[in-house]
């Protein structure tokens, strides 16, 4: 037989852990944003991708200048995606290929990167972050702030970022938000 005092104590402990988890998440998000600032990056824009009524991910684009001009992309940038839903590495790769095909890239342009992406990308769970850091003509992927792989080919970053930032993107409103444009105009 449970005593009312024990039940109240368990409920209180449960609430305390939930509040502490929320506080830890807020601290983690602040540290992440601070680390980009410490590296000299400024947010250009951010956007949430929703399919039907499911929020899939939240993405943010950072550059040194705080702006992004598609005709003259910066040499250094960070593109971070925080996933709000689980996605397998295989599904992520499949969706990436579908977007490249939508953009009209030939298989010859992206096929060379598929084995490398298979090796780099893990299965992703809600709350995980995948970031692309472009620097020195290299594309460096980070998963939850840990470096997980590098693609040395300079053309990869533009091919990958075209999914979100190209004129032909399948999500023009998301692109506008990432570029910090006012989509209400």
- Give per-residue pLDDT as tens, 139-156: 999 999 999 999 999 899
User: Per-residue pLDDT averaged across 27-47, rounded?
Assistant: 69
Predicted local confidence at residue 123, as pLDDT: 97
Alpha helices in the chain (DSSP H): 4-38, 89-102, 107-110, 114-120, 154-165, 172-178
Could you tell me if residue 184 is inside a domain?
Answer: no
Q: Residue 163 CB: number of other CB atoms within 10 A?
A: 22
Q: Do 32 and 90 lie in a common domain?
A: no
Structure confidence at residue 36 as a pLDDT band (50, 70, 90):
confident
Q: Do 10 and 45 lie in a common domain?
A: no
Q: Which domain holds residue 114?
A: 40-178
Q: Do 93 and 143 lie in a common domain?
A: yes
Could you tell me if residue 142 is inside a domain?
Answer: yes
User: Per-residue pLDDT averaged across 88-113, rounded?
Assistant: 97
Residue 32 CA to residue 9 CA, distance in Å, equals 35
Q: Do 12 and 81 lie in a common domain?
A: no
Predicted local confidence at residue 57, as pLDDT: 94
The CA-atom distances, in angstroms, between 43 and each of 75, 129, 147, 180 are 15, 16, 21, 9
Q: Do 30 and 53 lie in a common domain?
A: no
Q: Do 91 and 23 lie in a common domain?
A: no
| Contact assessment for residue 96 and residue 116, using Cβ atoms and an 8 Å cutoff | no
Predicted local confidence at residue 181, as pLDDT: 87
Structure confidence at residue 35 as a pLDDT band (50, 70, 90):
low
Percent of the chain residues past pLDDT 90, beyond the cut: 66
User: Per-residue pLDDT averaged across 78-104, rounded?
Assistant: 97
What is the number of domains present in the chain?
A: 2
Residue 45 CA to residue 35 CA, distance in Å, equals 17
CATH of the domain at 112: 3.50.70.10
Residue 169 CA to residue 28 CA, distance in Å, equals 31
Predicted local confidence at residue 25, as pLDDT: 43
Q: Do 119 and 48 lie in a common domain?
A: yes
Structure confidence at residue 164 as a pLDDT band (50, 70, 90):
very high
pLDDT at 47 exceeding the cut of 60: yes
Query: What are 18's two structure tokens?
Result: 């939930």
User: Per-residue pLDDT averaged across 155-179, rounded?
Assistant: 94
User: Per-residue pLDDT averaged across 78-96, rounded?
Assistant: 97
* Rg from Cα positions in the chain: 19
Q: Do 47 and 78 lie in a common domain?
A: yes
| Contact assessment for residue 98 and residue 74, using Cβ atoms and an 8 Å cutoff | no
Structure confidence at residue 183 as a pLDDT band (50, 70, 90):
low
* Lowest-confidence segment of 31-35, 109-113, 163-167 by average pLDDT: 31-35
pLDDT at 98 exceeding the cut of 60: yes
């Amino acid at each position: 037989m449970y005593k009312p005092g024990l039940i109240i104590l368990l409920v209180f402990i449960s609430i305390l852990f939930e509040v502490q988890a929320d506080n830890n998440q807020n601290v983690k998000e602040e540290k992440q944003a601070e680390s980009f600032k410490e590296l000299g990056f400024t947010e250009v824009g951010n956007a949430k991708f929703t399919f039907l009524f499911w929020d899939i991910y939240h993405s943010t684009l950072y550059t040194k200048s705080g702006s992004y001009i598609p005709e003259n992309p910066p040499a250094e940038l960070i593109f971070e995606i925080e996933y709000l839903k689980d996605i397998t590495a295989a599904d992520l790769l499949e969706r990436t290929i579908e977007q490249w095909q939508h953009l009209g890239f030939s298989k010859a342009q992206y096929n060379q990167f598929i084995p490398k992406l298979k090796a780099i990308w893990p299965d992703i769970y809600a709350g995980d972050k995948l970031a692309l850091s472009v620097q020195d003509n290299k594309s460096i992927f980070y998963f939850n702030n840990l470096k997980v792989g590098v693609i040395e080919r300079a053309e990869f970053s533009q091919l990958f970022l075209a999914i979100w930032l190209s004129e032909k993107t399948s999500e023009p409103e998301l692109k506008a938000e990432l570029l910090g444009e006012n989509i209400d105009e």
